[in-house]
C-alpha cells in the first residue's frame, strides 16, 4: 500500500511538473503597435547577480536587480518615421534611447532589419542588417533553437581627415536556445517563464577612406562574445534580461516595471471603460460603461497616488488634469462596491 501511495505521489508530481511548462504563440503577445514597456536597469550591483541554471522546472531569483535608472521601449507603426524608406519591409518600429530599431513581424518570426539614429552628432545614420537578425521564432517553447549570421556597416565622416570617412563593419554569428522553463522572480512579480539564451560572436573591422587609395584597413580586428539571457511569459516578451561576457561576467541587468497598450488584456466587458485621449498631454476623460463606479484612483509607476475621486456614479467622469506631473505611464484603479478594474494612461 505504501509503495502504491509513493508511486501515486511521484506520478502526480510528474503530471504537475509537465503542465507547468509553457509555450508562447505569437498571438499570446498581442498587438505590439502602441505598446510601451518601462524597464528598470541595474548600474551598481550586476556583479552580485546570476542568470541561474538551464533546464526544466527552474526557479530564477532576480530580486537582487536594482532600479538605478529606467528605460522606455515604445512600439510604433514604421510609416513616416525617420529612415523608414530605408526599411520598406518593416512592420514595427521600436524606439529606445533615441534610436529607432526597425522590425519585421509575420507571426512566425520577428526579425531586426536595422536601426536609425544619431550615433555621432550631428549625423543621422541608417544602418541595415544584412541579412536581418532573427530575434524570436514562434511557437516559442523549451529547446526551441535557431542560428544565423548578420552584417552591418556603420559609416560616418571623419574630422579631422585623413581618413575622410570611417567605416566599421560588424559581422555577427548568433545562436539562440530556449534553455529553460520555470518561475522567474523579479523585484515586482513572479512569472511562469521561458528563458532564451542568445549568444553573439562579433567581429569588428575598421576601415578608413583615403583619397587616391580608397578604403583601407585601420586599427586591429576586435573580437567579442556576449550572452544575453531573456525571460518571456505568455503575455510579455520583456520580463527580465541579464547580459554577460563569454566568461560569465555580468555586464547589465534589467526587469520589467510596467507594460501598457497593445498587449492583450482580458477585460470584464460589463465593467469596461475607456480613457481618451490616450496617450494624452496630461488632460483626459474616463468613459465608464458601469454607472455604479464610486471611486477612481490614479497612481504613478512607483505606486504614489496622484489623484483620487469618490462618489462618481455616472458614465462620463469630468476631465482629469495631470499636466503638473511628469510624463510617463499612470495606472487608473476604478472601484465599485464589489469589483475593481484597472486602466492605464500615457502622458507625454
Evaluate whether 244 touches 226 at the Cβ level (below 8 Å): yes
Average pLDDT value over all residues in the chain: 84
Question: Domain coordinates of the chain in residue numbers?
Answer: 23-260, 269-347
Residue with cell 541608417: 126
User: What's the confidence (pLDDT) of residue 290?
Assistant: 59
173: Cβ–Cβ under 8 A, 6 or more apart, which residues?
147, 148, 149, 200, 201
Residue 263 predicted with pLDDT over 50? no
How many Cα atoms occupy the beta-carbon half-sphere of 126 within 13 Å? 9
User: What's the confidence (pLDDT) of residue 274?
Assistant: 66
User: What's the confidence (pLDDT) of residue 12?
Assistant: 34
User: What's the confidence (pLDDT) of residue 71?
Assistant: 84
Looking at CATH, the fold of the domain delimited by 23-260 is given as YmcC-like fold (2.40.360)
CA 346 to chain centre: 17
201: Cβ–Cβ under 8 A, 6 or more apart, which residues?
172, 173, 174, 223, 225
This prediction has a pTM of 0.70
Kindly report which listed range (176-185, 269-278, 312-321) carries the lowest average pLDDT score.
269-278
State how far the Cα of 329 lies from the Cα of 257, in Å rounded to an integer. Answer: 10
Residue 226 predicted with pLDDT over 90? yes
CATH number (1.10.510.10, 1.10.10.60, 1.10.3080.10, 2.60.40.3080) of 269-347 reads: 2.60.40.3080
Residue 15 predicted with pLDDT over 60? no
Cis bond upstream, residue 139 (ω within 30): yes
How many Cα atoms occupy the beta-carbon half-sphere of 71 within 13 Å? 20
Q: How many residues does the chain have?
A: 348
Amino acid at each position: 500500500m505504501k509503495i502504491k501511495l509513493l508511486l501515486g505521489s511521484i506520478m502526480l508530481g510528474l503530471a504537475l511538473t509537465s503542465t507547468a511548462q509553457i509555450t508562447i504563440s505569437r498571438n499570446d503577445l498581442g498587438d505590439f503597435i502602441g505598446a510601451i514597456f518601462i524597464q528598470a536597469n541595474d548600474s551598481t550591483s550586476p556583479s552580485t547577480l546570476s542568470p541561474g541554471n538551464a533546464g526544466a522546472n527552474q526557479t530564477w531569483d532576480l530580486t537582487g536587480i536594482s532600479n538605478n535608472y529606467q528605460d522606455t521601449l515604445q512600439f510604433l507603426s514604421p510609416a513616416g518615421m525617420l529612415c523608414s524608406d530605408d526599411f520598406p519591409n518593416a512592420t514595427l518600429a521600436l524606439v529606445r534611447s533615441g534610436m529607432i530599431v526597425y522590425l519585421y513581424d509575420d507571426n512566425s518570426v520577428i526579425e531586426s532589419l536595422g536601426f536609425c539614429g544619431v550615433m555621432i552628432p550631428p549625423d543621422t545614420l541608417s544602418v541595415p542588417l544584412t541579412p536581418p537578425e532573427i530575434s524570436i521564432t514562434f511557437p516559442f517553447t523549451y529547446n526551441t533553437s535557431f542560428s544565423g549570421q548578420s552584417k552591418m556597416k556603420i559609416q560616418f565622416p571623419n574630422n579631422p581627415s585623413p581618413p575622410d570617412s570611417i567605416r566599421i563593419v560588424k559581422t555577427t554569428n548568433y545562436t539562440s536556445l530556449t534553455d529553460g522553463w520555470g518561475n522567474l522572480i523579479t523585484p515586482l512579480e513572479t512569472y511562469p517563464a521561458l528563458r532564451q539564451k542568445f549568444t553573439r560572436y562579433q567581429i569588428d573591422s575598421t576601415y578608413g577612406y583615403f583619397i587616391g587609395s580608397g578604403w583601407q584597413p585601420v586599427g586591429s580586428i576586435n573580437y567579442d562574445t556576449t550572452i544575453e539571457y531573456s525571460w518571456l511569459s505568455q503575455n510579455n516578451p520583456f520580463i527580465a534580461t541579464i547580459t554577460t561576457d563569454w566568461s560569465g561576467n555580468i555586464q547589465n541587468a534589467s526587469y520589467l516595471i510596467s507594460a501598457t497598450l497593445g498587449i492583450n488584456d482580458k477585460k470584464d466587458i460589463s465593467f469596461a471603460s475607456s480613457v481618451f485621449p490616450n496617450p494624452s498631454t496630461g488632460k483626459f476623460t474616463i468613459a465608464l460603461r458601469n454607472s455604479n463606479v464610486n471611486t477612481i484612483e490614479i497612481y504613478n509607476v512607483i505606486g504614489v497616488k496622484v489623484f483620487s475621486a469618490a462618489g462618481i456614479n455616472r458614465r462620463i467622469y469630468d476631465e482629469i488634469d495631470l499636466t503638473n506631473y511628469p510624463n510617463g505611464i499612470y495606472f487608473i484603479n476604478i472601484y465599485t462596491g464589489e469589483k475593481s478594474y484597472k486602466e492605464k494612461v500615457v502622458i507625454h
